[in-house]
Amino acid sequence: SQSGKSPDLVEAARTARKRGALTLAVTNDPASPLAEAAEVVLPLHAGEEKAVAATKTFLAELAALFQLGAHWSEEATLKEALWPLPEALASASQAEWPRFIEAFTEVEHAFVLSRGLAYASALEAALKLKEAAGLFAEGFSAAEFLHGPVALIEPGFPVLVLAPEDAALPGVREVASSLQEKGALLLWAGAEPGVGEALPAPKAPHPYAAPLVLIQAFYPNAARLALARGQDPDRPRNLRKVTRTL
């Protein structure tokens, strides 16, 4: 949680802890109600999140969980990847996708696809296209996409693929190829070779870190797209900084 103030999350943590579960709060505010409700707190130290559509908090959460997984598993390659990860993210933040902005400025709908660990980044990218750019976008696992949503594909339908770097890559490439054959406007973002029009992103220091690099490359370009569509990415319509639901 970015703010640690959403009542539904706080109540869920309190209830789980009361019933004996080990609760861990990953939040940007270590003094928040969520942090107080949980037994263990993993602070993000991301600094103030000024944008309503939170971006650096999501990225910081992925980074924190990546570090936690690396140290918990004692996997040497994961731990080694922690050192070059900041440089990879800095490089990703400089990625420019003019073709993405050109292709998505006038459209009304789009799909964002990935698979495996990068599926979370596809969902986040689709959410940001809704929030910041005012574009109705849906994120799917490439495997799930064939179970229904593929029926909507027609010539020119825009599809953004966030290419994973792990074992999920061949399956994503196969689905992307089939969509291109159906006439989809396919944009392939990532370091691994793919199909469609390429959007550059640096190679991750470990395949499991690719979701972080991909979403970091996406964020600045999503902001540029929002501006191209006449939207203010820092002030999305109808949204509030903290959503209070219970």
Contact 107, 137 (CB under 8 A): no
Q: What is the mean pLDDT of the chain?
A: 94
pLDDT value of residue 53? 80
The model's pLDDT over 161-220, given as tens digits with 9 standing for 90+, comes to 999 999 999 999 999 999 999 999 999 999 998 999 999 999 999 999 999 999 999 999
Measure the CA–CA gap between 183 and 180, rounded to whole angstroms: 5
Residue 233 scores a pLDDT above 90 = no
* pTM score, whole prediction: 0.92
pLDDT confidence tier of residue 238, bands split at 50, 70 and 90 = low
Burial 62-92 (b: 16+ CB within 10 A, else e): bbbebbeebeeeeeeebeebbeebeebbebb
SS3 label, residue 53? coil
Domain boundaries 86-228, corresponding CATH code = 3.40.50.10490
Neighbour order of strands in the sheet with 109-114: 136-141, 109-114, 158-162, 185-189, 197-199
User: How many CA atoms within 13 Å lie on the side-chain side of 89?
Assistant: 17
- Read off the DSSP letter of residue 204: P
Measure the CA–CA gap between 128 and 10, rounded to whole angstroms: 24
pLDDT confidence tier of residue 123, bands split at 50, 70 and 90 = very high
43 - beta bridge partners?
27
Measured CA distances, 12 to 6, 18, 21, 105 (Å): 10, 10, 11, 40
Structural domain spans, the chain: 1-43, 86-228
The model's pLDDT over 58-85, given as tens digits with 9 standing for 90+, comes to 999 999 999 999 999 999 999 999 999 9
pLDDT value of residue 245? 62
